[in-house]
Amino acid sequence: MNTEDTICAICTGVGGAISIIRIAGSDALKVGQKIWQGQIKLDSKNARKMLFGKIILNDKNIGDSALAVYMPAPNSYTGGDVVELHCHGGSLATKQTLNTALQAGARAAEAGEFTFRAFVNGKMDLTQAEAVCDLITAHSDMALHLAEGQIQGKLSASIGELREQLLDILAESESRMDFVGEDLDWTNDSVFIDKLEDIGAKITELLESGREGIVLRNGIRVVLAGKPNSGKSSLLNLLLGFDRAIVTQLPGTTRDTLEESANLRGIPVTLVDTAGIREATDLIEGIGIDRSHQSIKQAQVVFWLLDASVKDIDAEIAEMNTHTVDKENLIAIWNKADLAEKKILPELPCPSVKISVLKSLGIDDLLDLLEKAVWEFPHSEEPEIAVNARHSKLLEDAIEALPGALMNLGDSDWELAAVHLRSAISALASITGEESDPDILDNIFSRFCIGK
């Protein structure tokens, strides 16, 4: 992406009452002045003031009322000159204004191009830019909190600290290389070794946060499975807090899989209600059952509902065992406990819980089990930092360089130690974008929406 052009885009979503058009680049003010006029002039004297006026359409016709604000470099989102126009919402009116800006000399911005400029202009580093994307797509308070922390620079700060420490060791190694044999006041080798071990432990900790990162950024799929009539659709509705699926006493009512997003204990979850698994009685239900099998395979957690009220408890369990070979992420749920208060239920090969959807009993215990399955205890608080897949890969590169550095420091081979240290430092620098490859940048920013 070139950073010289003046670019523009609609920055707000479709359907809102107001649309914001952002123009950024060295000609932003010129373009703004061409397409907007008010009693107070849009210029540097009135920078950072919201001015009232009208859009001037290309054929000199006066368009709709609009507010305009000019934010000169460097104090703007991109770090360059920015003009924003706040117009009436509605896709046609907004597009007309955008076209006017395009005809006045701006070019349409590509996905993530404003944020890319903010990165290039040093307004934020790469982890902060990535967090802008996370913030927009956050599906739970916890995910939002994480993105906000990353925008504030929490991850950058921990990476920066590790890098500084490695740079210190590198500096000393390089000096020793230059003054071989001279008995200067060098740091004791054991201090180096302790420091490097400490750095390794901190990188490992960051790598471990990757699991939380995946859960919070991507969410998890929880599939509700079980025999027809076990209460899957009832549980889905209860967890969602509204009636999404049809609940009837007739087995086989849910013929296809249904998906809904929910937020359970801060975990962004896609709940999937499946058609009951059993021998298909007709073709359509048969297709639904195939999908159920697929859903179970794709799920991170399977809620298998067992009807505790039936006589033949063993048949319920046998059904579960047939369809869930892998018991790892399986949670067995004895439902209809209200009809089976006195029943002694057998032990199961996976975590299990007794609930009654009808009476809203045991739901907290079920959510405890879900949390346990997702976070793999111990997990006490909200994560402050959680790395993404790109960070993890680079952290792995960094940690791989440490044993070599340790060994060579131990052997007083400063030159080789420096090679390993530089490689770890470079991996960390790629996380924050101090060192960056254009292809990787393209890949990151292309995931943004246009206008961000």
Give the residues lining the site for Mg ion (CB under 5 A): 232-233, 254
Which one among 329, 335, 352, 432 touches ligand GDP, defined by CB under 6 A?
335
x/- string (CB under 6 A) for ligand GDP, residues 343-372? -------------xxx--------------
Nearest to 213 by CA among 260, 155, 298, 159: 155
Task: Give dist(CA 15, CA 267) in Å, integer.
Answer: 28
* 198 alpha-carbon distance from chain centroid: 28
* Residue 126 contacts residue 432 (beta carbons within 8 Å): yes
Structure tokens belonging to residue 229: 């009539």
Task: Give dist(CA 103, CA 98) in Å, integer.
Answer: 9
* Residue 31 contacts residue 23 (beta carbons within 8 Å): yes
Residue 360 region by backbone torsions, left for phi larger than 0, else alpha for psi between -120 and 50, else beta: left
Residue 254 found at the interface with ligand GDP (CB under 6 A)? yes
Stretch that binds ligand GDP, among 200-208, 245-253, 284-292, 379-387 (CB under 6 A): 245-253
Residue with smaller CB distance to ligand GDP, 126 or 271: 271
Residue 336 touches which of ligand GDP, Mg ion, none (CB < 5 to 8 A by kind)?
ligand GDP
Which residues are within 8 A (CB) of 91 and not within 5 positions of it... i.e. 6 or more apart?
14
Which residues are within 8 A (CB) of 365 and not within 5 positions of it... i.e. 6 or more apart?
353, 354, 355
Residue 234 found at the interface with ligand GDP (CB under 6 A)? yes
Residue with smaller CB distance to ligand GDP, 166 or 357: 357
CA distances for 409 relative to 181, 195, 373, 405, angstroms: 15, 12, 42, 6
Residue 150 touches which of ligand GDP, Mg ion, none (CB < 5 to 8 A by kind)?
none
Nearest to 323 by CA among 290, 351, 347: 290
Least distance from ligand GDP to the Cβ atom of residue 248, Å: 6
Residue 120 touches which of ligand GDP, Mg ion, none (CB < 5 to 8 A by kind)?
none
**What's at 124, amino acid-wise?**
M
Least distance from ligand GDP to the Cβ atom of residue 364, Å: 15
Residue 338 found at the interface with ligand GDP (CB under 6 A)? yes
Least distance from Mg ion to the Cβ atom of residue 252, Å: 8
Structure tokens belonging to residue 129: 């830019």
Least distance from ligand GDP to the Cβ atom of residue 299, Å: 16
Stretch that binds ligand GDP, among 51-59, 169-177, 192-200, 221-229 (CB under 6 A): 221-229
CA distances for 78 relative to 121, 124, 157, 395, 433, angstroms: 7, 9, 22, 28, 16
Residue 420 found at the interface with ligand GDP (CB under 6 A)? no
Residue 163 found at the interface with ligand GDP (CB under 6 A)? no
Residue with smaller CB distance to ligand GDP, 72 or 228: 228
Residue 33 found at the interface with ligand GDP (CB under 6 A)? no
Residue 253 found at the interface with ligand GDP (CB under 6 A)? yes
Q: Could you tell me how many residues of this chain bind ligand GDP (CB under 6 A)?
A: 21
Residue with smaller CB distance to ligand GDP, 370 or 386: 370
Residues that bind ligand GDP (CB under 6 A): 226, 228-234, 247-249, 253-254, 276, 335-336, 338-339, 356-358
